[in-house]
Amino acid sequence: MDYMISPLTAERWPALEELFGRAGASNGCWCMYWRIGPRYHDWPRTDNRPDRRQLAASGRPPGLLAFDGKLAVGWCELAPRAELAWLARARYLQPADDLPVWSIPCFFVRRAYRRRGVMGALIQAAAGVATAAGAPALEAYPVDTTVPGHTGNPFPGVASAFARHGFQIILRRKPDRPVMRRQRTRGARSPRATWRGSAGCWPAPWS
């Protein structure tokens, strides 16, 4: 299936709002967990929605949306790692080095579209966006589902999906949560998705 991949902007806020629903993706998080940092557990969850909306309107899209036609079917957070303060607080996700990488820390996929290639399309698009922004590498912190007793939390993504898109494990401080990285490279455009920006629709700048 082909998906349209778009940056989250103020114009596309209603699509994210509908995708996340009343639960705000997960228990009112609105995918703010990695940005708030050590204050997250003391932070009023009612503030997460307006804070996410403010990021969408900031002129620097904080993530990507996947669309099937006009319906938003998936989301991933995408940003320079330095903007995601809570990553440095997680003992097993602390920086591997000083490289100014970008990160994909979490996903949300509409239930009816899970296992239908949405995550893969978002990963591939994110790699292209990070490359176009000059990032030396793109990093992820998925769940390795081959490890017995792995976490059941699906939001960081699945290691096998990242591996299929050129990510390699660079360290593993926790058995089921490897740190994976895709170095900046150039390659062919993927046929699976098209990047949609504010000025229209054009082939994604795949790395």
Per residue, the 3-state secondary structure of 143-191, as one string, reads: ECCCCCCCCCCCCCCEHHHHHCCCCEEEECCCCCCCEEEEECCCCCCCC
As a whole number, mean pLDDT of residues 35-64 equals: 87
pLDDT tens-digit map of 90-140: 888 989 999 999 999 999 999 999 999 999 999 999 999 999 999 999 999
As a whole number, mean pLDDT of residues 54-80 equals: 96
Convert 126-151 to b/e letters by CB count within 10 Å (16 or more is b).
bbbbbbeeebebbbbbbbbeeeeebe
Confidence of residue 13 (pLDDT cuts 50, 70, 90): very high
As a whole number, mean pLDDT of residues 66-82 equals: 97
How many C-beta neighbours within 10 Å does residue 27 have? 10
> CA–CA separation, 105 vs 55, rounded Å?
16
Question: What is the fold, at CATH topology level, of the domain defined by 3-202?
Answer: Aminopeptidase (3.40.630)
User: What integer pLDDT is reported at residue 202 of this predicted model?
Assistant: 29
Q: How is the chain split into domains, by residue range? A: 3-202
> CA–CA separation, 203 vs 190, rounded Å?
9
- Give the global pTM: 0.87
Using DSSP bridges, classify how beta strands 3-7 and 193-197 pair: parallel, antiparallel or unpaired. parallel
As a whole number, mean pLDDT of residues 52-58 equals: 95
User: What integer pLDDT is reported at residue 38 of this predicted model?
Assistant: 67
pLDDT tens-digit map of 180-197: 999 986 553 433 444 444
Q: Has residue 61 got a pLDDT over 60?
A: yes
> CA–CA separation, 30 vs 23, rounded Å?
8
**193 within 8 A of 120, measured Cβ to Cβ:** no
> CA–CA separation, 15 vs 39, rounded Å?
28
| 71 conformational bin, left if phi > 0, alpha if psi -120 to 50, beta if neither | beta
Confidence of residue 3 (pLDDT cuts 50, 70, 90): very high
User: What integer pLDDT is reported at residue 5 of this predicted model?
Assistant: 97
pLDDT tens-digit map of 105-115: 999 999 999 99
**99 within 8 A of 82, measured Cβ to Cβ:** no
| 117 conformational bin, left if phi > 0, alpha if psi -120 to 50, beta if neither | left
